[in-house]
Each structure stands twice: as structure tokens, then as C-alpha cells.
A and B are shown apart, each in its own frame.
Chain A
């Protein structure tokens, strides 16, 4: 481990036929983190580095009358203060969708005459130390004239609402697939439900906040930006354009990145500003976000409301769904996904794995005076799953149908894949029914119902939750094109190179930050090249070293980046075979790659080590055949149509009637992400995702006062759960290989977060069903549960 090589025994390799895909090999990333030698942005030392702190708006909505930087400039250690006034050469970010229903609004890098959320950057202070920079930031004197803030969807939609932007408060309003039959179908339905589901604003809380270090190099006339990002190439493209320099003059590096969960998959104002400051300062400059900044000014998400009308036939089958989806997207759109990412995904994918033919949705993005939204893990799907599963649960209760049977009847039938939904979305084959049965069996539904009845008689509140979902992953170019994004982050690229010593380096456009890509992509390439994964070095996240790629978000990397790595290493293997065939005087199809050698099939003694082939390819080019150029490398890209993982989550909860606290007794996941490249990493993603989903179900909520003041600006107020709250997660694997990916793998980075909120909500609702208490909003707070329990008890007393 100490030398950073993947540990695994040759015996183990032999036992699995030399195949590395599918094995839970230990991560090559671990050694650096276990020994403290990892390098996050704030760990990078540059001589003469100066520190940056931002003066940020303390108001939710205000006009700026004047900014006086002089008190800050007089502060000990402060070198310079930048405001909008001395950044006139920097244009605002204007994230766009190329569709008429979208309203583009400017996001200034530094506020000039107006602030629209607490935490909006107003001035940038450069100083000798972080402490001096913060001192200076506190002393930037800004005269604000307060404006009325809007901090809720309803307030923003009111006729006389204050406008967050002159353009209005609705930044996207899309009617999606209006089925003309729908109203008639709903009118004729045996049961119609009109329900509202909503979820609070939450935020990703990566353990490392955002951070940037930028340095201008006079010798090379180039700028280097080290930034805690998921998308280094797009940061380069965007920041270079803002600075007005060609991209080859900007190198962007994501060093070790302490979690992202989507918060770092958009380009931030701070990234451009720190680069601008580096050019002006003539020294390296560093900004490291503190936790308060991260909670107040970092990107947020998931604040949504679904008003849904759904019809059911007498057997419980859904006959039609009409949804009005509202997303509170905060003060600005973010680049590249815009504020459309939540409403458009919600409208496109609401129906999930259920066979609904008749559908209509309206989806809106509503601006408020809060920090901007970015695609946080799951993006709208936790809310969609909540809406669909609670509808099914409510209907099942009314119709007297068992929870599992209700889902059985509504899931896309086993033989109906690939399924094309009413909105044209194609869902590829999965194990939806098997996952449901597997999860339900593991939970022991019938035994639980008996236990629940007995517990109720004792005054104890037990509930069982069950949710099914489809997790779209590996979105390709066309998926983003359909959203009408002005940049379409779909394909990805890989370059694999064998050096003259026979060492192999795989350069990828994805940008892992905890997902273990240095390990899993090496596993993929190792099988293609008949090498040990420890012999393959994976390089990522450096725009000088890697081919252009879109980074790591939206459960794309193992499908898209893994596909590119698979193709590129296959192409290199092919070159090795051709070279060996020439040197061994055999046919290329008779050459077999095995354990770092190319051998003639059936005559293993006729073979050459890769290092011998590499020597010829680089150092003895006179021996090359005419159709091979010197060197040994191959590049490939991959651009899939997208593929769906699936899962059923189930849990058993108990509610303490005296405190309103919810305890999760068991949590079971039956999941299918196709071919698992590394099962240990798959399970890590599931468990981590479930923990974030449970957090959103029971603990986390960003609270804003009516004037736009955040009330949850520390981890004492924003309750990220600990090991005391998160239960063990039992995981059962199913495997339906994807026909749409090179390796058969499907993406699965978000499923845990998608399923868990609704799973807990349906369990709590099940525990309270006999009391008539509904759980339609997340998080489920103990004080609200207690109030509902007391109201129910009072009603019962009155009824007697």
C-alpha cells in the first residue's frame, strides 16, 4: 500500500481468470488520505501566497448606494480590495438555455448596484494572511438601501411580489407533454387524489468547502487555477472566456477534492474572481471557503413543491397523472445547468418506473432571495420519488391493496422493456419487479404487519416504507441537447499511453472526488490490456494533462468515462497485438495478451513482454511495420444514450410518541446497477447516498427568515447526521447489464439519495396511517410529528 499500488494477490487474479472488473479491490486513493499526504487546495503551498476573503451581502435584497473600500485598505496586512467598480473588464455570468420559456438573468461576479441574497459577493480583499483578509472584508463599508425580499415560492408568485430580477420571478415555465386525453381519464377514474408534496431547501455540505488557488506565471504567460471542482475543463472554458484569454493560457487543476455532491459541478463566481485577482496581485492568491460561507453562499437545492392530481382504477392502477411542479431556485441561474435543471428533470422523469401512459406536467423555476441552486445529488428525483410513492401509498390505503401488490400492479411490466414513457423517455432493461420482491422478502412484510398490529395495541408506532425508482445515469450529449443547454456535457474521453518502459498511464476527462476512479478505471483498463490494475496509473482533473472531458456528476463517470477508457485501452491492446504479430511473424488474431506479455496462441514461449514492444515502438522505430506509427497510445471517446439503474428501498421505523423522534430499525436496499466494476465502491455509494437521503428526510433544512436572513449558518443549526443517527444499510445486488454502456455498468452515484427520503416518509406515514396523519413534506421534524400526534389524540378524545 505504501507505494500506492493496488494491493491484490496474483492468486486472487488467477482465481477470477485475471478479470479485475467485478472485484472489490482496495482503492489506490486510500494511502494518501490515510497518511495525511493528500493534497486538497488549502494544502498546496506556493511561495508568497496571499489570501483572499470576500465581503458578502448581509441582506437578502438591497440596493447598493456606495462602497467605500478605504477602511479595509487601512487594515493591517491588506494589500488590495476589488469591487465591481475596478472589475469593469469582467462580464457577468449569464447562464442560458436555448428555449423560449427560459429567462436568462445576469449573475454579476461582484454585485454592483444590487444584492439579491445574503452571501452574495460584494468585494474581494487580498491580504497577507487569511486572518488579515477577513479583518479587511469586515471593514469594507457598503451603504445598502433595503428592499423587500421574497423567500418562498408563494411570495414570489404573488401578483404584487417584489421582483428578484427586473425580468420577473419566474425564470422558466414549461408545459410538458400535455396529453389531451388526461382530463377525461381523470374524470372517469375510480379514485382521484389531489395532493401536494414538498421538500425543504438543503445543501450538499461537502466536508471540504469550495476553495481556489490561482497563480499567474510571468515566464510562460499562463495562469494556473487549482480549484475544488467536479468539472475542471468547463471551469477552464468558462473562466478563460470571462478573463478574455485563450484556453491554452489557463490550466485548471482539481487536486484532491473533499466531496462535491453537485455543489462543485457548476462554475462559481469565486473561481473567476480569484483568477482575476491573481493577475492583478502579481502573486499567488488563495481563497478557502469557511463553513458559514458554504452554508450561506454555497449552492443549494431540492426546495420543491409538487401539486399532483392522479387517477386510479378500482385495481389500483394509475390511469393518469397531472403535475404542477414548482422549484425555488434562489437568486440566480448557475452555469452550465441553469435554474432549469430541477424543473426540467422533475417534469421529464416524474413517472419513474411506473407504467403511466397519460401524463401532463407544468414545471416552473421561481426566483427568490436565497443562494442559487445547483444540481445537488439526486436533483429533483428525491422529490419525484416522494410524490409517486406517497400517491401509491395513499391510493393503496383507500383501495385496501397491500403495499407490495400496489407496486407490482403499477411497475412497468417485466416484458415491456425498453419502455418508452409518455414523454418519450426510454428506460432500458432492469430488474424492477425482482428488486421489489427481493426487498420485500428481506423485510419480511407479513411478519412485520403482525408485529405492527401488536405494537399498536401497546401504543407503539411502527411503520414500513417501500419505494421503487429508476435512476437515470450516463446522460449523453443528446439528453442535454433535449434540455436545450447551450453547452451539452455528454460524451467523455480517455487517452491511454504506454511509455518506453512499458508503464501505462490512462488520462481521463472525468474528475473523481471520492468515487475511487483511480481504482475503477484502472480495473476497466487492466482487463482490456491483460495487466494488473496497479500497473496502470490513472491521471485526471488536470486540463494540461487530460483530454477534454466533462468531469464527474450525474452518475456519469463509470458509464461515460469508463466507456471511453474501455475503448481507448481496447485500441491500445489492438496496437500491441499488431506490433507483436509483426515482430513474432504471426497473424494479429493469433496474438494473445496475458500478464503483461503478447504471446502466440498455443505457443506461450513465442512471446514478448510489453516492455519489449514498447522499446521497439519508441526506441527502435526501424523495426516497426509500415502501418504503425512510433509510440504506443490510443484515444477514444464515448457518448451513450443513457441507461437506468433501478432499486427498491425498504425500511422499518419506530416513532417515539413522547418525543416525536424517528428511529430507523432496518434499512434494506435491493439494487441493480448492471455490471459492478467494484462492488465495495458500489456499496459505499449506496450507503453514503442513503445517509444523505435520511438526512433530508429527518434532519436537514436550510431555514430563511422573511427578510432573507439564513437561520442555519452553522453545523449547530444545519443538522448533518452522525453515526448515531444513520443505521446500517443491508444491500442486496441484482445485475442486469446495460446494453447501452461499453462495460455493462450503469451509473449509481445518486440512487441512495433518491430513494431514502421517500422511503423514510412512507414508513413514518405507515406508522401513523391509523391516526389519519399524512406525511407530505420533508424533513419530518419531531416537533411537527408531536403536534400531529397530540392533535390526533385530542380528536380521538373528542370523538369519544
Chain B
């Protein structure tokens, strides 16, 4: 095989060396070379955002970046969001509590996008949340529950959310 480059990158804190064909994208490297299949490809032309990961802390379309460009980069993916004991992050909890996912295909991209938003701006306004989340496409939810989940996570109150129509049962829900 021609045109193979050796790169080193850190994914969710673990360093990897990968031999990568020049034309392979960062999404290819994550999914196929490293087995991180939580990063999904929804359009491969940078519109839908399902493949959003964090590259050196910034939300990035993994389908629009070549693997070789990720040399020496710190990558964060959905697999790294929960803590090591398996506890979900407040944002992940909020997505579940607010029914912010249905088929789940776009979910990793939205989680990474929102993670970046809340790190940069821990207390975003509703408009700021809407504007940021408008970077990605979800075909199932109609977005409202995603916005509510991000707002709840921003308030540090994932399971208890803002008043909405998502019913008391969601809020009383807790692991049995």
C-alpha cells in the first residue's frame, strides 16, 4: 500500500501509534484502526455533525480531517465521557432524563458538541445553546429535548431539568 504515514495521537487519554493511509480520515482512524465505533458517520461531508469529536478540546468533524492531521493531537470521543467506574457524566444523564435521543445515531456528536460548549461557556443562555446545537442534525427528536438536556446539564441539575412537559416520572427516576 502506498502513501502510509506513521502518526501518534492520544484518544481519551491513551496514546496510540497508527500507520495510516494519507486519504483516511480521522473518523476512519478512530473507527477502523482504533475500534472507537461510538463516533458515527452520518454524511461524510461535514454537515450533519454525527462524527463530532474534540481535537485538542475543540469540536471537530472527524470526517473532514485527515488522520495524518491528527498527529500529536489529543482526541476526545464519546467513549471517554463516562467516568472510569461507569458513572455517566451530568450531560449524559441529562440526555437520558430529558429523552434527548431516540435512534441514538447522532447522539455521540451532540454529546461532544455540548461538552465543548459547556466547557467554554458553563452558563450559556438558551439562545447560545440553540445556536451551538444547530451545528448538528438530529432526525428523530425535533431538538427540543436536546436543548433542554444541555440546559439542565449547564445548571448542574441533570435529572431535575427546567420545567417542561417531560413528566415527573423522569425526575423521580434514579437507578434502582
Interface residue ranges, A against B (CB under 8 Å): 1-2, 5-12, 23-27, 29-40, 42-43, 45, 76, 131, 204-208, 256-259, 261, 290-291, 513-516, 532, 534, 679-681, 683-684, 687-692, 714-716, 720, 722-726, 728-731, 752
Contact = CB atoms under 8 A, between A and B. Distances in A.
A716 to B, nearest CB: 6
Interface in B40-80: 40-45, 47-48, 50, 77-79
A207 B99 contact: no
Given A680-B167, A722-B134, A723-B133, A259 B176 contact: no
A5 B38 contact: no
B99 A681 contact: yes
B29 interface: no
A76 B23 CA distance: 15
Given A35-B38, A257-B103, 15 more contacts: A1-B93, A2-B82, A8-B172, A10-B176, A12-B173, A24-B99, A26-B170, A33-B101, A34-B82, A42-B31, A207-B137, A290-B44, A514-B104, A683-B165, A730-B165
B86 A206 contact: no
A647 to B, nearest CB: 15
B104 A32 contact: yes
B36 interface: yes
Contacts, number: 223
6 A-B pairs closest in CB distance: A36-B38, A33-B104, A258-B105, A514-B103, A687-B142, A691-B142
A691 B103 contact: no
B81 A30 contact: no
A291 B174 contact: no
Given A24-B170, A206-B103, A259 B92 contact: no
Given A5-B175, A680-B99, A207 B105 contact: yes
Nearest to B45: A714
Interface string B104-125: 1111100100000000000000
Contacts of A2: 82, 86-88
Interface of B, helix, strand, loop or mixed by DSSP? loop
Contact of A516 (B38, B102, B106, B173): B102
B77 A7 contact: no
B136 interface: yes
B163 interface: no
A729 B164 CA distance: 11
Given A23-B169, A35-B38, A720 B139 contact: yes
A208 B139 CA distance: 10
Interface of B: 1, 21, 23-24, 31, 35-45, 47-48, 50, 77-79, 81-82, 86-88, 92-93, 95-97, 99, 101-108, 111, 130-131, 133-147, 165-170, 172-176
B143 A723 contact: yes
A203 B164 CA distance: 31
Given A34-B96, A683-B166, A720-B137, A726 B142 contact: yes
Residue among B23, B47, B106, B146 having the largest count of chain A Cβ atoms under 10 Å: B47
A39 B173 CA distance: 26
Contacts of A731: 165
Contacts of A725: 134
Interface of A, helix, strand, loop or mixed by DSSP? loop
A680 B148 CA distance: 13
Contacts of B147: 723
27 contacts: A6-B176, A8-B173, A24-B167, A27-B99, A30-B101, A34-B111, A39-B37, A42-B41, A131-B21, A207-B50, A207-B105, A207-B139, A256-B103, A258-B42, A261-B139, A514-B140, A681-B99, A684-B142, A688-B142, A692-B139, A715-B43, A722-B143, A723-B134, A723-B146, A724-B131, A726-B143, A729-B144
A33 B23 contact: no
A680 B88 CA distance: 21
A244 B64 CA distance: 43
B175 A1 contact: yes
A25 B166 CA distance: 10
Contacts of A729: 142, 144
B163 to A, nearest CB: 12
Contacts of B48: 207, 291, 715, 720
B38 A38 contact: yes
Contacts of B99: 24, 26-27, 680-681, 683-684
Nearest to A30: B96
Given A36-B78, A684-B145, A8 B176 contact: yes
A504 B77 CA distance: 35
A9 B134 contact: no
Given A34-B95, A684-B140, A688-B141, A515 B102 contact: yes
Contact of B92 (A35, A37, A39, A532): A35
A799 B145 CA distance: 50
B35 A7 contact: no
Nearest to B23: A131
Contacts of A258: 40, 42, 103-106
A208 B103 CA distance: 9
Contacts of A714: 43, 45, 47
A36 B79 contact: yes
Given A29-B104, A33-B104, A513-B103, A24 B169 contact: yes
A291 B43 contact: yes
A35 B78 CA distance: 6
Contacts of B44: 290-291
A231 B36 CA distance: 28
A27 B138 CA distance: 18
Given A10-B176, A680-B170, A690-B142, A722 B136 contact: yes
A377 B165 CA distance: 24
Contacts of B36: 36
Contacts of A8: 169, 172-174, 176
Contacts of A514: 102-104, 140
A87 B157 CA distance: 59
A8 B1 CA distance: 54
Nearest to A683: B165
A503 to B, nearest CB: 15
A208 B102 CA distance: 13
A204 B145 CA distance: 21
A42 B131 CA distance: 31
Nearest to B104: A33
Contacts of A752: 142
Nearest to B148: A728
A25 B169 contact: yes
Contact of A679 (B35, B143, B167): B167
Residue among A25, A688, A720 having the largest count of chain B Cβ atoms under 10 Å: A688
Contacts of B102: 259, 514-516, 684, 688
A731 B145 CA distance: 13
A40 B43 contact: no
B60 to A, nearest CB: 17
Nearest to B146: A723
A394 to B, nearest CB: 30
Given A207-B50, A722-B136, A7 B101 contact: no
B78 A45 contact: no
Contacts of A29: 104
Contact of A208 (B105, B137, B143): B105
Given A27-B99, A290-B44, A36 B146 contact: no
A729 B148 CA distance: 12
Nearest to B47: A715
A204 B40 CA distance: 18
Residue among B36, B42, B97 having the largest count of chain A Cβ atoms under 10 Å: B42
A510 to B, nearest CB: 15
Contact of A716 (B47, B101, B144, B167): B47
